[in-house]
Amino acid sequence: MKKLVFILMLIGLSIGINPNPIIVPPGAISEIYFDSLGKWNVEIGFNNPNLNPYSVQIGSSHGSSYLDSIEIIESYNGINYFGYLAVIRQDDYMFEIDKNNDYVWLMSYDDYFYDYVEFGDYPGSMIDASKSTESIVNVGVVDSYFCKTNHPNIGEGNSIEGTQGWLNAKVYNKAGAMVTNGYLSIYHVCAAAIMSDGSFSGNIFARNYRADTINLSNSTDTNGRYLIESLLFTIDPEDTTTVEINLLQFLASSEILVKDDPVIAAFPNPFSDQIDFYISLPNQSWKGTFLDIFDLKGSIVSSKLLNSATQKVTWETDNSILSGVYVYRLTVNGRGVCTGKMIKQ
């Protein structure tokens, strides 16, 4: 089964077509699974084959422990960029993890990595308690980012299968009329084109979401940022959630939005052979702006210089582009301003 642990970190600044290389962190929580008896199993990913287990500590609200020993599993057969995995099981340790209301943290004092996730009813959690047929997996792009999957794969790395669902929406302006064109982005949720029938659809990870503002661009309605009726919704694995997005108050025009707030929508996502990027750069000159696409090793597989502030860019893949996860990034004058991920099926 294909592996998926893609927690990417963007560091450094350099001028040119290939700025800010993507590097792999030294380690992270990869998956948390509770079996039918409620016992916990935690998979960690790391890159040091000589990881000292006595320097690694794992804990929850019920206690913590250094690792006595670990069985190292070498990664294989997929896009799991961690070189090694290990599974830590409740039967080997003396503390509990409550799947309904808890958190898990992991720290290595030798390799200097730290990771943390809360779930269930614990304050700040955005992940419901998982069922025995589900697990919590790390699908982060820039930092650790957790969701649910209905394809637990403990001890083998994470599968793409079962980590996503669909958000379908209708968008209405302040007058109650349906918005039927343009591009809409919900920060840290999704971005996509609004169809002529007013529909907005995004394939996103299975977890809880909250949003109070959206960005609207290239629409016959006023372009910019809007306050909306608060959205609180849950995406379940391989299921569809339908919501209404109601614009309440215009907050800022596209001309005065901050520089770190471009709009880029990738559709369809996941994709097979072709994906379209709808790009708008509020308050930014398009000159010197590149759309770069990286694989999970940090290598650029495509780079295109933009020729206008608002445009559609199509990426057609060939046989050299394998199935898996890729990262796209807008770079303006050598500075990365917008990053996202996409999945090639």
171-181 tens-digit pLDDT: 999 899 999 99
Winning range, highest mean pLDDT, from 38-52, 70-84, 281-295: 38-52
The answer to whether 252 and 297 have CB atoms below 8 angstroms apart is no
CA dist 93 → 32, 41, 90, 188 (Å): 15, 11, 5, 36
Mean pLDDT of the chain: 80
Residue 23 pLDDT exceeds 60: no
* pLDDT, position 278: 76
Stretch 13-39: mean pLDDT: 66
* pLDDT, position 224: 83
Winning range, highest mean pLDDT, from 43-47, 182-186, 235-239: 235-239
Confirm whether pTM is higher than 0.75. no
CA dihedral 219, 220, 225, 231 (to 10 degrees): -80
Stretch 46-74: mean pLDDT: 89
* pLDDT, position 32: 95
CB neighbour list of residue 48: distance below 8 Å, 6 or more residues apart: 26, 27, 84, 111
Residue 297 pLDDT exceeds 80: no
β-pair type (240-253, 164-172) = parallel
* pLDDT, position 283: 53
Distance CA 295, CA 22 (A): 9
* pLDDT, position 20: 45
The answer to whether 317 and 344 have CB atoms below 8 angstroms apart is yes
* pLDDT, position 8: 29
Winning range, highest mean pLDDT, from 19-33, 136-150, 170-184, 252-266: 170-184
Q: Which two tokens stand for residue 204?
A: 């996103």
Percent of the chain scored above 90 by pLDDT? Answer: 29
Reported as a single tens digit per residue, the pLDDT across 131-140 is 888 999 988 6
DSSP state of 90: G
Burial 22-37 (b: 16+ CB within 10 A, else e): bebbbbbbbbbbbeee
* pLDDT, position 170: 94
Residue that the structure tokens 């210089």 belong to: 305
Using DSSP, state whether 162 is helix, strand or coil. coil
Residue 168: how many other CB atoms lie within 10 Å: 12
Residue 85: how many other CB atoms lie within 10 Å: 26
**241, 238, 246, 305: which is closest to 270 by C-alpha?**
238
Reported as a single tens digit per residue, the pLDDT across 208-236 is 998 888 888 878 888 888 889 989 999 99
* pLDDT, position 10: 28
Domains and CATH numbers, the chain: 9-149 (no CATH), 164-256 (2.60.40.10), 263-344 (2.60.40.1930)
Winning range, highest mean pLDDT, from 18-22, 160-164, 167-171, 292-296: 167-171
The answer to whether 110 and 55 have CB atoms below 8 angstroms apart is yes
Residue 84 pLDDT exceeds 70: yes
Number of H helices, E strands in the chain: 0, 26
* pLDDT, position 119: 95
* pLDDT, position 24: 52
The answer to whether 329 and 338 have CB atoms below 8 angstroms apart is yes
Residue 332 pLDDT exceeds 50: yes
Using DSSP, state whether 10 is helix, strand or coil. strand
Using DSSP, state whether 252 is helix, strand or coil. strand
Stretch 12-21: mean pLDDT: 35
